[in-house]
């Protein structure tokens, strides 16, 4: 059995990049840490909220790499000299990746009560109708 690709469909021209994007999204980790919400604030704005309790602002990094929003967290291990009778809160690192559509821009990021909010906006596309003239050959 052969793998179906977007190139198999003759009416989908120029969608190779979309196919690569789907493959990349499918390969991204589906781990559950940290938990997050995605809200749509309006027709053209979104907010991603991650629960990052225990992380300081300087322990978080937000980058946009090849149309992917990447949020990384790395806590310092400050347990030296401390004796834990139970350690249920581990200092762990994470990386969350969100694939951004064409025209989506990352706005500001705000830490508030252990939650990291990242605002996104989508550029409003111009509706353009293009007429193609037919030349006599």
Tell me, what CATH number does 65's domain have?
A: 2.60.40.790
Domain that holds residue 99: 32-122
Residue 137 lies in a domain: no
Residue 49 lies in a domain: yes
Residue 50 lies in a domain: yes
* Residue 5, SS3 per DSSP: coil
Place of tokens 């508030």: 112
* 121 secondary structure, DSSP code: E
* Pairwise pLDDT comparison (124 vs 136), residue with the higher score: 136
- Structural domain total, the chain: 1
Helix (H) or strand (E) holding 53: none
Strand partners, 43: none
How much is the pLDDT for 73? 95
Residue 128 lies in a domain: no
116 confidence band (pLDDT: 50, 70, 90): very high
Residue 55 lies in a domain: yes
Residue 62 lies in a domain: yes
Helices (H) and strands (E) in the chain, counts: 1, 7
The torsion defined by the Cα of 28, 31, 34 and 40, in degrees rounded to 10, comes to 60
Q: What is the mean pLDDT of the chain?
A: 84
How much is the pLDDT for 133? 87
């Amino acid at each position: 059995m052969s793998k179906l690709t977007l190139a198999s469909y003759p009416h989908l021209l120029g969608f190779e990049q979309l196919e690569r994007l789907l493959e990349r999204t499918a390969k991204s980790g589906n781990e559950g840490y940290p938990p997050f919400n995605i809200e749509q604030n309006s027709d053209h704005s979104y907010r991603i909220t991650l629960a990052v309790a225990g992380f300081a602002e300087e322990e978080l990094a937000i980058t946009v790499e090849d149309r992917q929003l990447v949020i990384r967290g790395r806590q310092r291990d400050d347990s030296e000299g401390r004796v834990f009778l139970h350690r249920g809160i581990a200092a762990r690192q994470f990386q969350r990746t969100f694939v951004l559509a064409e025209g989506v821009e990352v706005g500001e990021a705000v830490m508030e009560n252990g939650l990291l909010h990242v605002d996104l906006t989508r550029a409003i596309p111009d509706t353009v109708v293009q007429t193609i003239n037919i030349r006599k050959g």
